[in-house]
Amino acid sequence: MTSKWTVYVSLQSSIPLDTTRIIASGIAVHDDVVLTFDKIRVRLQGADKQEQLKLVLFKISDDGKCIVVDEDKCLKVKDLNGEEDVFRKIVNMMPTEDCRYALYDCSWESKDSPKEDLVFIMWAPEHSTIKKKMKYASSKQYIKAKFQGLKFEWQVNDMSDAKDSSVFIDKLGGRGVVKKLEGKEV
């Protein structure tokens, strides 16, 4: 009898499921990534709301073996208080010559109602090396599989994709749908 945790590659051998998840790119997803995802998707109330994560960046570790939380590149709600251009602040958090994954807890309003959605960001700027872009591209499906329930993805390959919030607003449905982004009229 086979277990749901085992994938049979041939009749002779089996490979644990976690191992097959890293074969394509050779890169695993660290457990802290999933814990951070759980933290960002929880909606805090009252005074605790200021401590809620708003943006988290993820990177491939220096040894190239796993995707980890980029500890220095996280924003909380309190970090954006009084910020005139939240979109610009998020773009400025991204490295100009390296790739990243990110989760952004986006607050926006449609014609009908206010919304909060997690947006997966694949950041692969034009000045990053081809090797890094390939590593990130081949590992993207595995990190996204850990983030259940994502509605939106924004891929940035050059700065024209991030020049202003209009490209991002298009990902949410366009100006005809989006009325406010982070409390600001669009």
Task: Name, in order, each residue with C-beta under 8 angstroms of 109's C-beta and a sequence gap of 6 or more.
Answer: 115, 178, 179, 180
Prediction pTM value: 0.81
Stretch 23-29: mean pLDDT: 75
Band (157; pLDDT cuts 50, 70, 90): confident
> pLDDT tens for residues 90-127?
888 999 899 999 999 998 998 888 988 999 999 999 99
Average pLDDT over the chain reads: 82
What's phi and psi for 12, nearest 5 deg? -95, -25
